Amino acid sequence: MSDVTRILNAIERGDAQATDELLPLVYEELRLLAAQKLSHEVPGQTLQATALVHEAYLRLVGDEPQSWENRGHFFAAAAEAMRRILVENARRKKRLKRDGRRQQTGSVDADVATDGPIDDLLALDEALTKLEREDPVKASLVRLRYFAGLTLEQAAQAMDISRATASRYWSYAQAWLFHEIDEDG
């Protein structure tokens, strides 16, 4: 059992001290995942992994108590939080570009980098939402790979599926998303 799963189980049992143990352990893993994800960005970007991780962690441990079954469930929630942050940021940038004026929104003041033009991220989000309705497992794999930056092996482990199954799901999801985005123009 990983340290994260052990700590999450302790929190579930009401161990208040376990909450203090979770932050340093999970924060570092999330920061590494965000840094890995953002390392593929255009050179010259300011350090943005920290802002992404801070916002995601705040959403994960917010005011309402959360319950995670295991490490995989926690990182799936982290991936979804990162996805929402990136999409919200892309929508904000698009709105600012369209409106031609600045507005302060959200708790992330720094711009969070994305893997391409804003419209591409928004198209991906829309297609991923459709895939979620059709096949939640494959959509979860995409979130873990794309938004949390996990490798195929890490995502398979987090989802408790074999690497071969994850590979098949990933190939299908990529083709499905490409078709959906291409079809929408």
Report the alpha-carbon angle 161-162-166, nearest 5.
Answer: 80
pTM over 0.75: no
With 0-12 / 13-18 / 19 or more C-beta atoms within 10 angstroms meaning exposed / middle / buried, residue 178 is: exposed
For the chain, give the percent of residues with pLDDT over 70: 74
The tokens describing 179, both together, are 């078709």
| pLDDT 10s digits, 14-44 | 777 776 777 777 777 787 777 765 665 444 4
Residue 133 has a pLDDT of: 95
| pLDDT 10s digits, 56-88 | 877 877 666 567 777 778 888 888 888 888 778
